[in-house]
Amino acid sequence: MNPIYLDYNATTPIDPAVAKAMMPFLQNIFGNPSSTHWYGVEARMAVMDARSQVASLLGCTADEIIFTSGGTEANNLALKGLAMARKNRGNHIITSTIEHPAILKVCEYLARQGFRISRIPVDRYGFVHPEDVAAAITDETILISIMLANNEVGTIQPLQAITDAAHARGVLVHTDASQAVGKIPVRIADLGVDMLTLAGHKIYASKGVGALFVAPGIQLEKQMHGADHELNRRAGTENVPGIVGLGKACEIIETTISQAVVHSRTLRDALQQGLLAAFPSAVVNGHPQKKLPNTLSISFPGCRANVILQNLPGVATSAGAACHATSVTISEVLTAMGLPPEIAMGTLRLSVGRFTTRQDVEKALPLLISAIHQSQEPA
């Protein structure tokens, strides 16, 4: 039997309804959306429909959605595109210490191009305080990029307050919402952001497709050069099956998000309660209230996460630290939160999703408890 899957923050399976929607565009309707014959027109109409579905979920208009090859490309387009388009206005970009590498590595690249990067620290819950962001803004600041929800510990950031502070100084805000969309309601009007990233494979669509919301009037320098696809903002023949799947995935989320929140929180809490009952000294990471309902980052003192995983073939999950014979590599997120190394090295990230069942949790708990017991170092 396959292991019980508790790693939905890493990727999600394709929803059968999404796969069904994609299938015609993998078989009979295979046209290039730029073609003028029937095959092209059908493909183009499907892309237009998907654009409207994504926009509906986010509460924006269809012409504010740009399809990309995934969240990483969307982040690159947002940060590099804005930085290059506005470099005559300033060279300062603000982000946080707990962003995904798809943001931090882009910032490192921009630093090599002469931009100044400020990384705002977080508190012990992984929370970015708006006043710290506001204090970092200068006359040279052109962009702030703060993730909506952290992929490791699930902490949800105060984007509206950050956006208010930024807009008061004429600064634009981007958020990588890849880990938040589909897990909590995400609406542009509630966040006030100017750009937002989402990734298909995090919301039960396929890998290799994503989207970037861009508010009206924002100019971005192209990162993919060629023809005038995607409203002349991202060249390349559209991935029609992937885009159709992304649209269907967003349509499903829009009608089921309330139930999804309750479902995920119920199962996440059952995992947390079961593990804390067995290991009272365990430490739950992330903000106690402002956290994704599906995410449990939990540390087991006296254990090493990679050893736990080695003893856990029946459950698929992630570690917050990689422990080697001569060193321990702890995630940048846990380090930024100030978690002591001796605790951080025993961190697991368990994340549930749409297809997780109560039976999955009931089967996984004894397997997890046994693996953790086996991994405990002698006192």
**Rounded alpha-carbon distances, angstroms, from residue 317 to 106, 245, 251, 272:** 27, 25, 28, 14
Bridge partners of 321?
330
Q: What is the pLDDT of residues 259-300, one digit of tens each?
A: 999 999 999 999 999 999 999 999 999 999 999 999 999 999
DSSP string, 69-105: SSHHHHHHHHHHHHHHHSTTT--EEEEETT--HHHHH
Residue 166: the pLDDT is 98
Is pLDDT at 379 greater than 70 in this prediction? Answer: no
* CATH class of this structure's domain 4-10+256-375: alpha beta
Count CB neighbours of 209 within 10 A: 28
Q: What is the pLDDT of residues 24-74, one digit of tens each?
A: 999 999 999 999 999 999 999 999 999 999 999 999 999 999 999 999 999
- Give kind and range of the element (H or E) at residue 335: helix 332-336
Question: Which residue, chain included where needed, has tokens 């940060």?
Answer: 79
Q: Which amino acid is at 378?
A: P
Active site residues: 323
Structure-token pair, residue 332: 């940048």
Q: How many residues does the chain have?
A: 379
Structure-token pair, residue 261: 């929140």
- When pLDDT is averaged across residues 204-210 and rounded to a whole number, the result is 98
**Rounded alpha-carbon distances, angstroms, from residue 141 to 15, 35, 74, 144, 247:** 41, 42, 21, 8, 34
Start and end residues for every CATH 3.40.640.10 domain found in the chain: 16-253
Structure-token pair, residue 88: 């005559």
Start and end residues for every CATH 3.90.1150.10 domain found in the chain: 4-10+256-375
- When pLDDT is averaged across residues 107-114 and rounded to a whole number, the result is 97
Distance in angstroms (rounded) separating the CA atoms of residues 9 and 294: 9
Is CATH 2.40.30.200 the right assignment for the domain spanning 16-253? no
Q: Which residues of 157-188 are buried (b: 16+ CB within 10 A; e: fewer)?
A: bbbebbbebbeeeebbbbbbbbbbbbbbbbeb
- When pLDDT is averaged across residues 139-167 and rounded to a whole number, the result is 98
Share of the chain above pLDDT 90, in %: 91
Distance in angstroms (rounded) separating the CA atoms of residues 119 and 122: 10
Confidence of residue 318 (pLDDT cuts 50, 70, 90): very high
